[in-house]
Amino acid sequence: MNKLLPTTSAGSLPKPSWLAQPETLWSPWKLEGEELTEAKRDALRLALADQRAEGIDIVSDGEQTRQHFVTTFIENLNGVDFENRKVVRIRDRYDASVPVVVDDVSRKGPVFVADAEVLRASTDAPIKWALPGPMTMIDTLYDDRYGSREELAWVFAEILNQEAKELAAAGVNIIQFDEPAFNVFFDDVKNWGVAALERAAEGLSCETAVHICYGYGIEANNNWKKTLGSEWRQYEETFPKLRQSSIDIISLECHNSRVPVDLLELVRGKKLMVGAIDVASTDVETPEEVAATLRKALQFVDAENLWPSTNCGMAPLPRHVARAKLGALSAGAEIVRNEFSS
Ligand SMILES: [Zn+2]
C-alpha cells in the first residue's frame, strides 16, 4: 500500500439474515447446495460494498464464505470425522463439541479459491484472505490419529500452504493466518508454533499476516479476560519470536484492551494491523477515539508500518453497528493522516 495508514478489518463482518441467524456467532447456514453457494457470494459482494462505502482500503470477503473460522476449512479435509464428535476445552477456556481426526489428514481440493476469485473480480482494491493458523486448528479438534499436537500442526501447515499458494495465485494480496491460540500456549508457540506458521506461509508470492487477539466478545472470552489482571502482557511472550519470523504483518488488539501499548516496540520493523475498534461492544467509537488509539500506537510503530484495523471480527454485532464502526475507523485514520500532511 502506498497510502499512509491504510485501513482494514481484522476479521468477519455480520452476515445478512437470509444467509444465517444474525447476532449469533457461528450460526448455521439457512440454505444449502447451489443456493448456499450463490447466497454466500451475494453476501460477499454486499460485505465488499459496505467496506468500500465506509472507506476501507484493504478489503476482505467479511468471512461471508464460512460458518466458523476453523471448522469450515476442516470440513474440506480428508481424515476428519464430523459425525462422532468429542468435547474438548478450547484454548483452556470453554468446552465445545469438535470433529475428530481419525485418519491421515489431507486437503480434498481448494477450499476458498473460487470465493477469492469472486472477490478478486469484484474490486481493484487490495484484498486480504483469512485462514486459520495451524496451532488454532489443532486446538479446535480432537486428535485420535497422530498423538502429537506438534506433528498434527506440521501436517496442517503443509495443507494450509497448498491453499495459501492457490489463493495467492488467484490474486489475493495478503493472506492472514488467525492464531488466537498464540495468546495461550506460550511454550508451544516458542517450540514449534511460529515455525509451523512460517511453514504455512512458505514461498508465497503475496504478503502474510498473523492475527492474534483476545477473541470475540462472548462470555467465555470476557470471563477469561477478567483473570488476566490489569495489564495484558501475553504479546510479550510471542512478539520477540514473531519479529524474527518471515511473517510480514502482525494483527493485534489495542483499543479498550489492557495491552500495554509499549509492547508494540517488540515487533518494530514489522507492519502492524493495530486494532482501534472494540468488537466486544456495540458502542460505536468516535473518529477522535480511533485517532487517539492510533496516536498512542505511533509512539512505537513507524507510520509507514501502521495499518488501522479492528481488534477482531465483528460477526456477532448488528450489521448497522459493524458498518458504523468501519466508518469510524476510516474517519479516525483520516484525522491522523492529515496530521502527517499538515
Ligand atoms: Zn480475533
Residue 275 CA to ligand 1 centre (angstroms): 10
> How many domains does the chain fold into?
1
Residue 342 CA to ligand 1 centre (angstroms): 34
What grid cell was written down for 112?
Answer: 476458498
Residue 212 CA to ligand 1 centre (angstroms): 6
Q: What angle do CA 65, 215, 113 make, to 5 degrees?
A: 25
Residue 341 CA to ligand 1 centre (angstroms): 32
pLDDT tens by residue, the chain, 342 residues: 689 999 999 999 999 999 999 988 888 999 999 999 999 999 999 999 999 999 999 999 999 999 998 999 999 999 999 999 999 888 888 888 899 999 999 999 999 999 999 999 999 999 999 999 999 999 989 999 999 999 999 999 999 999 999 999 999 999 999 999 999 999 999 999 999 999 999 999 999 999 999 888 788 888 888 898 888 999 999 999 999 999 999 999 999 888 899 999 999 999 999 999 999 999 999 999 999 999 999 999 999 999 999 999 999 999 999 999 999 999 999 999 999 986
Residue 313 CA to ligand 1 centre (angstroms): 6
Residue 97 CA to ligand 1 centre (angstroms): 20
- Give residue 256's pLDDT: 83
8 Å CB contact between 165 and 200 = no
In a domain, 213, yes or no: yes
pTM: 0.96
Instruction: Report the chain's terminal Cα–Cα distance, integer Å.
Output: 21
In a domain, 16, yes or no: no
In a domain, 173, yes or no: yes
- Give residue 172's pLDDT: 98
- Give residue 46's pLDDT: 98
Residue 211 CA to ligand 1 centre (angstroms): 6
Q: What angle do CA 51, 270, 273 make, to 5 degrees?
A: 25
Residue 10 CA to ligand 1 centre (angstroms): 7
CATH of the domain at 84: 3.20.20.210
In a domain, 60, yes or no: yes
8 Å CB contact between 71 and 96 = no
Residue 32 CA to ligand 1 centre (angstroms): 27
8 Å CB contact between 307 and 329 = no
User: What is the C-alpha separation between 219 and 230, in angstroms, rounded?
Assistant: 19
- Give residue 217's pLDDT: 76
Residue 121 CA to ligand 1 centre (angstroms): 27
Residue 179 CA to ligand 1 centre (angstroms): 8
Residue 124 CA to ligand 1 centre (angstroms): 26
In a domain, 7, yes or no: no
In a domain, 10, yes or no: no
**Which residue segment(s) compose the domain that 99 sits in?**
33-341
Q: What angle do CA 130, 135, 141 make, to 5 degrees?
A: 95
- The sign of the torsion formed by the CA atoms of 328, 330, 331, 333 equals positive
Closest to 12 measured CA to CA, from 184, 157, 130? 130
Residue 9 CA to ligand 1 centre (angstroms): 10
8 Å CB contact between 183 and 193 = no
Helix (H, G, I), strand (E, B) or coil at 143: strand
